[in-house]
Amino acid sequence: MDRKKVLIVDDQNGIRVLLMEVFSSEGYNTFQASNGKLALEIVRSESPDLVLLDMKIPGMDGLEILKHVKAINKEIKVIMMTAYGELDMIKEATDHGALMHFTKPFDIDEMRIAVNMQLQGNGTSNWYATGS
């Protein structure tokens, strides 16, 4: 069986490193991008199964990246991460196909469980996690 691929898109290096370690140890092939341009290149070349996408990224924001990801392949699952409680942006992200969102700082175990649920095919799209 092919290993599932997870792309982590965040402009904060510490978050990318943490999530790379967590999801590599879960057995996923992990990729990381610090900006939208690089993220979309990885989406095109690697076709990840799931993208963890920060809402606020300099240059191309998370909503714009989400729209491009879904235009490339609407089957790619996307979970948004945000340090802000912008309900309108979260609603718009959901309207564009994001499955759920995590508010930073998020519980890494909740994130791990949510990603595992989504990639093992029994995820629910109406489950929202909030940070501590």
CATH of the domain at 106: 3.40.50.2300
pLDDT, tens digit, for every residue of 27-81? 999 999 999 999 999 999 999 999 999 999 989 999 999 999 999 999 999 999 9
The verdict on residue 34 lying in a domain is yes
Check: CB of residue 6 under 8 Å from CB of residue 23: yes
Write out the residue range of the structural domain in which residue 18 sits.
Answer: 5-120
Return all residues near 5 (Cβ < 8 A) that are at least 6 apart: 28, 29, 30, 31, 46, 47, 48, 49, 50
What is the arithmetic mean of pLDDT over 81-101?
88
Predicted confidence at residue 127, as pLDDT, reads 46
pLDDT over threshold 90, residue 122: no
**With a threshold of 0.95, does the pTM exceed it?**
no
Q: What is the mean pLDDT of the chain?
A: 90
- Determine the average pLDDT of the residues in 100-105: 92
Does the residue 22 lie in any domain?
Answer: yes
Report if residue 102 sits inside a domain.
yes
Tell me what pLDDT residue 87 has: 74
For the cut 50, the answer to whether the pLDDT of residue 116 exceeds it is yes
Is residue 71 situated within a structural domain? Answer: yes
- pLDDT score, position 132: 40
Domain assignment present for 125: no
Residue 129 lies in a domain: no
Q: Quick check: is 132 in a domain?
A: no
Question: Beta strand pairing status for 5-9 and 29-33?
Answer: parallel
In the chain, how many domains are there?
1
Mean predicted confidence (pLDDT) in 109-122 = 92
d(CA 101, CA 48): 18
Domain membership of residue 13 (yes or no) is yes
